[in-house]
Amino acid sequence: MSEIEVIFSPSTEDSGTFKLLELPPDLLKLVEAAVEGNSSLALSVKGGLEEDAVLCTDEKTYTMRSVVLSNSVLVVTPPQTEEGQVDRIAIRDQLHDVIELVPSLPKLHKLKGILRGAEYDEGHEDEEMDDEDIPAESSPMRRKFTYADALQLQASEGELRRGLRDMRILNVGGRLRPISPSFLNTILELILNHLVSESVPHNAVPVDQLCLALEEHEIRRTVTLQVLAWFGVIRGPSWEMNVDEVLKQVALGILRPHKDEPVSEDEFLAQWKRAVSDTFEAQVSLTLLEGNYLSTTLPNRFPALPALLYFPSSSLPIDPAARFTDLFLTRSRWKAQDIAPYLADIAVDSKERDKLLLKYARAMTDAEGVWYITRNKI
Amino acid sequence: MIIPITLPRPSSSSPSLPRALAKLGSSEVVLIELQGSLEVEGDRAGQAVGTLTFPEDNNAKPTLLIGHHLLEGKLVTLQKPLAVLRRAAPTINSASHNDEHEEKGEGRRYDMLAIVRRKIVFSKRPIPVVNAAAVKAGMEKEEEEERRRRKKVKVG
């Protein structure tokens, strides 16, 4: 039996400086691997003073929650003033809570507001900031927002990169600028035309040749390269196109004007096929557009003709309660597979999604199956 | 604001725990859980708290003697390992520059000292003692018997 003397730490500055952080299994593995020297790990806490803190690794974001303990936990180490293996120990701090980590979604929706006014559009490529004329405090949205600024947002770097790609945000002139949807569609059109006119296979497109062709239409090389990275993979000198992504973007261009007035499904599919070359006609399918359209019928027609309305999940509120309100105002009842794409960006996995449905909707079964309806009385 | 967390690096220069405790998993930190909390009067820096008895073999229980209270504890494996973080001292800059940055939280950093997987929990009611050694000897004797009798130690 060894008897070890326990003292309070001789340093008065220790109290309040310690924290206990619960490590979920996946994070534990990352930390252990990094400690053993097998990999690197960037770990940091991010957030503004007004926000709830999150913990970010290279790829994931976790919400930090303080769990109060009924007992107190003493953090005990050898007294730091001694050396070697000691025979007494010091209480450095007394803690009453532990920080729990819950996997969560990255918080990137702020980008939309921050980058409003910085859009990159045909004819407006060169809107540079003249810093001397504009005082810094006035118009925060016109201030240059860089990639380094974006790293301050509550997201891991991996999630940030993916977010910039999904939100079609360019990094040009040292600034983050979302590309205008119509300009993006113009660029894709030019790319598709190039594939046809040069008879180039879409899975091995010579990048230089393509950039030069687009430069003739005044598309900067740096922009072309970023667009290619969004819609495929660049390997050395050649680019492999992601056909589904391109088809989807072309379709959204056709669908976009139909927010209030539906377009006949047949007409839409015909237009879509015409816009892409015959090589890709067969891959055209409405499943590519999940989360962006609603099925409806053309008004004043009998028999009813199927039609589509543009309804993108990106236009819905981030807050779950507000989103469900919007969804039920748009349609009073939803089938599970129809509502799922509209919850994908606010629920981190299907378990979370089911929890949201339980909380904000009510399930109802009839002859046609299970429908979700609102919990509130409207 | 970004607060980086540095990962534990085995340091040969820092002092290490007594061997018996280091066996719990970390040579730097051990976690001890108490019901209630320690109340201190006056300046606590460097003050003696008590004595921890940590058994070499796995069957005997650790005990903690604080003043006239003897606590009996046990080793518990944590469901989720805990990382012990310590806020690192801010780097010294010019005084005024530092205050401004402290407020904004810039330059703040936490160091992960260790990952702890087991803790010592003292959850039984303390036994008031007058002669600690005699009580401890008595306790050890009880633990040798197969069936434990409950015994209250009365003072006076």
Instruction: Report the C-alpha gap between A306 and A334 in whole angstroms.
Output: 17
The CATH class, in words, for A4-104 is: mainly beta
Among the partner-chain residues B19, B81, B105, the one whose CB lies closest to the CB of A23 is B81
Per-residue pLDDT reduced to its tens digit, B29-58: 999 999 887 877 777 788 888 889 888 777
Question: Cα–Cα distance between A94 and A66 in angstroms, integer?
Answer: 15
Check residues B109 and B97 and name the one with the higher pLDDT.
B109
What is the value of ipTM here, to two decimals? 0.80
Count contacts between A and B (CB, < 8 Å): 183
Question: A-chain residues within 8 Å CB-CB of B30?
Answer: 76-77, 89
pLDDT at residue B153, rounded to an integer: 43
Cα–Cα distance measured from residue A214 to residue A228, given in angstroms and rounded to the nearest whole number = 12
Domain chopping of chain B, boundaries:
2-88+108-154
**Residues B55, A14 contacting (CB under 8 angstroms):** no
Can you give the pLDDT at residue B45? 82
pTM, two decimals, is 0.82
Task: Give the A window 139-168 contacts with B, CB below 8 Å.
Answer: 151-152
The pLDDT value recorded for residue B144 is 64
Question: How far is residue A56 from each of residues A45, A109, B39, measured CA to CA in Å?
Answer: 6, 17, 36
How does the average pLDDT of chain B come out, rounded? 78
Q: Given CB atoms, is A35 within the 8 Å cutoff of chain B?
A: yes
Count of alpha carbons within 13 angstroms of residue B49, beta-carbon side: 23
pLDDT of residue A165: 94
Q: Is B83 helix (H, G, I), strand (E, B) or coil?
A: strand
Pairing state between β B2-6 and B110-122: parallel
Residue that has been written with the tokens 């089938």 in this structure: A335
What are the residue ranges spanned by the domains of chain A?
A: 4-104, 110-243
B147: exposed, middle or buried (Cβ count in 10 Å: 0-12, 13-18, 19+): exposed
Going by pLDDT thresholds of 50, 70 and 90, the confidence category of residue B103 is low
Alpha-carbon gap: A46 to the closest alpha carbon of chain B (Å):
5
More confident residue, B94 or B106: B106
- pLDDT score for B148: 42
Q: Do B15 and A85 touch (CB under 8 A)?
A: yes
| pLDDT tens for each residue of chain A, 378 residues long | 678 899 888 888 888 899 999 999 999 999 999 988 878 899 999 988 888 899 999 999 999 999 999 999 999 999 888 787 778 899 999 999 999 999 998 989 889 889 988 899 887 776 654 444 444 444 444 578 999 999 999 999 999 999 999 999 999 988 999 999 999 999 999 999 999 999 999 999 999 999 999 999 999 999 999 999 999 999 999 999 999 999 999 999 999 999 999 999 999 999 999 998 888 989 999 999 999 999 998 888 888 889 999 999 989 998 999 999 999 999 999 999 899 999 998 998 899 999 999 999 999 998 888 899 988 765
A378 touches chain B (CB under 8 A): no
Q: With contacts defined as CB-CB under 8 Å, which chain B residues touch A86?
A: 15-18
